[in-house]
Chain A
Amino acid sequence: MPLVEFRDVHYEAGGKQILAGLNLAVESGETLVLLGRSGSGKTTALKMTNGMLFPTRGQVTVEGRLTTDWDAIRLKRRIGYVIQDVGLFPHFTVAENVGLVPKLEGWADGDVSGRVNALLSSVGLPPAEYRERYPRQLSGGQRQRVGVARALAAEPPLLLFDEPFGALDPVTRQELQQQFLQLRREFQKTSIFVTHDVREALRLGTRIGLLSHGRLEMVAEPVEFRKARSMEARAFLACLED
């Protein structure tokens, strides 16, 4: 059974068709990258996975259950979410940010604290130095590391990434991508990763789904994707040449 499945998913908002008949299954352990231009519907697809949005037609299932049947809060807490703007809570310390979902889930304080330390170490931020800092005292890259640690905190089986490294400088982006691969080896999580950067897609994805105007043009492993002949795929691959 796929961890996430989209079945003929349509989504319309304000008279505009944003997704048109998306069919896609995400298997446990893979990193599925949704690649597409702005407005191709990739973020919408992501938001349907954790019940931030629901299809106007068709179905989305997570762990075999329809997103509409899930308790809205439970579903969101089972899925880690990392967005480009990070959205760290400015009035919480790094430790409070990372420990939030475990705390909401009723973990004991000691367990939360231990978990926070382990995660901060995993994302390359020594806990002793960073726990008590506030988000404004961190660089963009460090903030995004905290964002990733926060998403991992309650041991969700699935992680969603919405262009998480898009706003970072190229060097920091490269470092965080490296970190992403390392964390994947360490935690073996399933991820859906949205990006418009074809290099990032090829680097991080175990499979790449190409979205164009709300339709899934193709899904392929990176090696296959490089050979793709469709117009949109070639348009993206052309970005690699310069």
Chain B
Amino acid sequence: MRSDLASEILQLTAEHLILVVSSMALAILIGVPLGIVLARQPALRRWVLAFVSIVQTIPSLALFGFLIPIPLIGGIGKRTVIVSLVLYALLPIVRNTFAGIVSVDPAVCDSAVAMGMTPVQLLRLVQMPLAAQTILAGIRVAAVTTIGTATIAAAIGGGGLGVFIFRGVASVDTTQILAGAVPAALIALSADGGLGWIERKVSPA
């Protein structure tokens, strides 16, 4: 019995991690370039930031509900969960990428341009390294939120540690709730610590 629980914890933790890691990977792949575009195209700023902010305000269960009937990205299961986790993670990543880049000292950017850096070199050698800490802070916030939100995935058959929590709530079984909540909290803490450490490592000089 005990070992059954232990192996289920392991299995659901792995599922949870897969949900979180794939959502975060997608959110970074979309969010960072989007933030870079916003830093260069002021005209798009208001619209894109408004969109990602509004998404953030939709309760997660409601968002699942909205997504389920949509073809291709919707349905019951992991795909819908990942799509909504990505949507939630976008705001902090996009906003911090954008903010990190535009807050680089204009004198530094000016002198980079005056020295004959191409736009790509400016981004790669100057803006990204100087914005890295802010961008990582956004990723860290997104990761911690995603780990928590992913527990709701179980509501639409997405698996993960939420399975324990929903089961525990339904059967008033504290052990089950803890079996979901404690590993989720540990993952969140270690993600927070690990990403915080990287953040300090990349601090520009």
Which residues of chain A are within 8 angstroms of B113 by Cβ–Cβ distance? 52, 76
Within the complex, which residue of B118, B125, B204 is in contact with A73, where a contact is CB–CB below 8 Å?
B118
A104 beta carbon closer than 8 Å to chain B: yes
**Which A residues are in CB contact (< 8 Å) with B105?**
85, 87, 90
User: In whole angstroms, what is the CA distance A74 to B129 when docked?
Assistant: 25
- CB atoms of A89 and B108 under 8 A apart: yes
Q: Are A81 and B130 in contact (CB under 8 A)?
A: no
Q: In the bound complex, do residue A52 and residue B116 qualify as a contact, i.e. CB atoms below 8 Å apart?
A: no
Q: Which residue of A lies closest to B119 (CB)?
A: A73
B interface residues, how many (CB within 8 angstroms)? 20
Chain A contacts for B114, CB-based, 8 A: 50, 52, 76, 81, 83, 87
Q: Which B positions have Cβ atoms within 8 angstroms of A?
A: 105, 107-118, 121, 125-126, 129-130, 204-205
Q: How far is the CB of B116 from chain A (nearest CB, A)?
A: 3
Grouping DSSP codes into helix (H, G, I), strand (E, B) and loop, the B interface class, with mixed when no group exceeds half, is: helix
Query: Chain A: interface residue count, which band?
Result: 20 to 34
- What A residues does B117 contact at CB under 8 A? 73, 104
On whether the beta carbons of A101 and B108 are closer than 8 Å, the reply is no
Asked if B115 and A77 make an inter-chain contact with CB atoms under 8 angstroms apart, the answer reads: yes
30 contacts across the A-B interface (CB closer than 8 A): A50-B114, A73-B116, A73-B117, A73-B118, A74-B116, A75-B116, A76-B113, A76-B116, A81-B114, A81-B115, A83-B107, A83-B111, A85-B107, A85-B111, A86-B107, A87-B107, A87-B108, A87-B109, A87-B111, A87-B112, A87-B114, A88-B108, A89-B108, A89-B112, A90-B204, A91-B204, A101-B115, A104-B116, A134-B205, A136-B205
Query: Which residues, 65 to 94 on A, are CB-close (under 8 Å) to B?
Result: 73-77, 81, 83, 85-91
User: Within the assembled complex, what's the spacing in Å between the Cα atoms of A73 and B113?
Assistant: 9
Q: Is A192 an interface residue (CB 8 A)?
A: no
Chain A residues with CB under 8 Å of B205's CB are: 90-91, 134, 136
Q: Does A100 contact B (CB under 8 A)?
A: yes
